[in-house]
């Protein structure tokens, strides 16, 4: 495996410890499966939607969690009721296997809602930048002016 020397970047960025850890995490091989397929849409300047094709899963079989800027979506198929007649398939093309998919969220990106419709799970995201983090204009002489 190739290693990348990021030392030239450290000369240009201030406080790049977080950047370095994100790059290290991205270069590691997670061997994440491609199931279920998903789309990421840009809905507005700071609004996004993740849509996942999870045919065959009910709302009670899907879990959505956010922890430390990581969005985790997992699906756990409920066990078939015991004593019920076992199904016999002539062709089984709908994959109903358990899954877990993780997405790295940017700073200040929050999950604002989730909905399931027509076999698709839609997760709404929005970047909510606090006032303290918004750009401020500083006048020469040390006076702090209002945010743009």
Please answer whether residues 22 and 13 qualify as being in contact, where contact means their C-beta atoms are separated by less than 8 angstroms: no
Q: For residue 83, what pLDDT is reported?
A: 45
Torsion sign over Cα 127, 128, 130, 131: positive
Residue 132, pLDDT score: 80
Beta strands in the chain (DSSP E): 38-42, 47-53, 62-67, 70-75, 99-104, 109-117, 120-127, 136-138, 144-147
pLDDT at residue number 6: 60
Q: Where in the chain is the domain with CATH 2.60.40.790?
A: 33-78+92-147
pLDDT of residue 9: 58
CATH number of the 33-78+92-147 domain? 2.60.40.790
Q: What angle do CA 99, 104, 105 make, to 5 degrees?
A: 125
Phi, psi (degrees; rounded to nearest 5) at 39:
-125, 150
CA distance 135 to 132: 8
Query: pLDDT averaged over consecutive 10-residue blocks of the chain (148 residues)?
Result: 61 54 58 81 90 90 91 84 67 84 88 92 90 80 60
* 0.75 surpassed by pTM: no
DSSP 15: S
């Amino acid at each position: 495996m190739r290693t990348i020397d990021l030392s030239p970047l450290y000369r240009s960025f201030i406080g790049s410890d977080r950047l370095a850890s994100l790059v290290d995490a991205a270069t590691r091989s997670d061997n994440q499966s491609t199931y279920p397929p998903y789309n990421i849409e840009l809905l507005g300047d700071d609004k996004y939607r993740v849509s996942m094709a999870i045919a065959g899963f009910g709302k009670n079989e899907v879990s959505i969690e956010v922890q430390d800027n990581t969005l985790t979506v997992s699906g756990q198929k409920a066990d078939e009721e015991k004593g019920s007649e076992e199904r016999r398939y002539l062709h089984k093309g709908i994959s109903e296997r358990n899954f877990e998919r993780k997405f790295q969220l940017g700073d200040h990106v929050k999950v604002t809602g989730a909905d399931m419709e027509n076999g698709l799970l839609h997760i709404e995201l929005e970047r909510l930048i606090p006032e303290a983090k918004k750009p401020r204009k500083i006048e020469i002489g040390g006076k702090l002016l209002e945010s743009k």
